[in-house]
Structure formats: C-alpha cells, structure tokens
Amino acid sequence: MNLSPSVTVKHTDSGLEYLSVESSFCSAKIFLQGAQLTEFTPKGKKPLIWVSQDEDYQVGKGIRGGIPICWPWFGMSANDGWPQHGFARTMLWRAEEVIENDNNIVVSFSLPMGQVNPEYWPHQSSLKVVFTLSDSLHIALVNTNTGNAAFELTQALHTYFPTTEIENTTVDGLQGANYIEFGEGPFAQNDIVNFARETDMVYQNTPLVQTINTPDGIIEVGRENSSSCVLWNPWVEKSKRLSNFRDDEFHTMLCLEAANVMDDKVTLQPGESHSLIHTVRWL
C-alpha cells in the first residue's frame, strides 16, 4: 500500500499499528485492529470523536471509544460465548489504499475473510470500510455477498462523541421514531432527548439526520441505507462496571450509532452489496 504525504504508519507503546493523518483538512488516527478510527479533528475545530483516558490499546481487545465496527451482529449473540458486537472490531484488518487530493483523503480497509472463524461466519462475503476525511468525516461500511446463498446480518458504527457536560447535552432529530430500551417498548420519541439517567435506546424508523447539541457546539450526524440507530450513555452505576472507562467519564461522552438492527437488518442475496453510510461534522 502506498501512503500519501499526510499519512504515516505509527505504533502505540503496546504495539498496535495505526495510520496517523496530519493534513490541511484534519488530524485523524485509524487502527488496523478493528479498522477503528479513534481521532478525527477538523483543522481549527475541536475533536469530533471521544476515547476514554483509561484506554490502553491492547492486542485483541476492543478500544473504548472512537468508532468500533460492530459486525456481523450487534449486541450479544444468541450463541453462548460468542463475542459481543461480533468479531470485526478486534480482528486485524488490511489497509488497502490511501488516496489524497485537493479536497480530501480517502483511506480504505478490508477484513481478511480467510482469517474469520467459520463457526462464527460460514458465509461467503467481503467486507470493507472506506473513510473519507476532509473538514467532515464520511464512512462507508460495504458488505458484499460473494457466495451462492443469501444471508442476514446486523451491524453498527458505534460512534463515541465528546461533550463537556452530558447533563447540558441534547439530541434533536429523533422525534417521530420508535425505540426499545432495556427490552421494553416500542415507545414513541416525541421530544428532543436529554440525559439524566442511563440511556440505551435502539431506534427504528429513524430520520436520517440528527444533531447533538453540546456546550462546545452542534454536531451533525447523518446516515444512509439505515433506518435504525442506537443512543447510549452508561451513567453512574454502569460506568463503574465498564472496562477501560473512568467512573466519571459518562459526563463527557455519548454514543449515537448508525446501525442496521432489528427490523432494519440486512439481507443480501448472492451478488448483492449493501453500504452503511455514516457522516459526522461540526455545524
């Protein structure tokens, strides 16, 4: 793979390899483990992505923050002992291509399907993710059925966003959707969402654009080929149980995840492809 002048290969102290982007548009970091973006900061603006201060970047362990790729299932598997949120977020991806031009930098990764445990995923398929970096962030998670039989999957781009104070943060644009929370519902979302407790809402029939209104400004979050999303903040008690997460960090983050889950799961016939698109920017 040829790198561009703005992209270099670096390693954490623990040995994880990542691509470091320093360009006229933005700064970014994307790890080969999980093809996980952990930093995106447009030039002259504040960071758009959050990572825990306790994250230690261990081989084979999910990174607490950034944008984990949950694939090919979201949440807990129906099979005991299978990894939560699938296996893609802890596998080593292959960096395929870096293209830099006057408008953006495009970085693409593929998941080596020959390394996937066939017990977890017996289907013939390909998976790639393409990051387009400018003053905004555009991600495409592309599934293709390369076999002779249809299959189903659920997936999410589990994006962690920063805020200086969750109690003074709201999410607009979910009105009109229905949600399931803690296995109950569906409930109608009639108002702007604010935060005063643990939040774990899975939305269906969701508008394609939301805004996160933080004390530092407004973040616009968009999706394509997705009618579902997930809103999450662990609040006080769950924060104490999370690994690589400080007890008080729920004050400074929230997740708003582009997804294909529940009724919005993806079914691919032989030869078909599906792209889950996620866009993020400061307004």
What would the mean pLDDT of 90-113 be, rounded to a whole number? 96
- Distance in angstroms (rounded) separating the CA atoms of residues 121 and 141: 17
Residue type, 282: W
Q: Which of 90, 87, 108 is nearest to 99 (CA)?
A: 108
The gap from C-alpha 15 to its chain's centroid, in whole angstroms, comes to 23
Q: What is the pLDDT of residues 221-270, one digit of tens each?
A: 999 999 999 999 999 999 999 999 999 999 999 999 999 999 999 999 99
> Is residue 1 scored above 80 in pLDDT?
no
Q: Dihedral, CA atoms, 175, 282, 129, 260, nearest 10 degrees?
A: -10
> Is residue 51 scored above 90 in pLDDT?
yes
Q: Which of 39, 6, 11, 9 is nearest to 25 (CA)?
A: 6
Q: What is the pLDDT of residue 88?
A: 97
> Is residue 13 scored above 90 in pLDDT?
yes
What would the mean pLDDT of 135-157 be, rounded to a whole number? 98
Q: What is the pLDDT of residue 43?
A: 97
Residue spans per domain, the chain: 7-282
What would the mean pLDDT of 169-173 be, rounded to a whole number? 98
> Is residue 78 scored above 90 in pLDDT?
no
Q: What is the pLDDT of residue 149?
A: 98
Q: What is the pLDDT of residue 193?
A: 98
Q: Which of 223, 204, 208, 138 is nearest to 173 (CA)?
A: 208
What are the distances in angstroms from CA 80 to CA 105, 116, 151? 41, 18, 21
Q: What is the pLDDT of residue 3?
A: 82
Architecture of the domain spanning 7-282: Distorted Sandwich (2.70)
What would the mean pLDDT of 137-146 be, rounded to a whole number? 98
What would the mean pLDDT of 157-179 be, rounded to a whole number? 98
Q: What is the pLDDT of residue 158?
A: 97
Residue type, 48: L
DSSP-assigned states of every residue in 113-166: GGGS-TTT--S-EEEEEEEEESSSEEEEEEEEE-SSS-EEE-EEE--EEE-S-G
Q: pLDDT averaged over the chain?
A: 97
pTM beyond 0.75, yes or no: yes
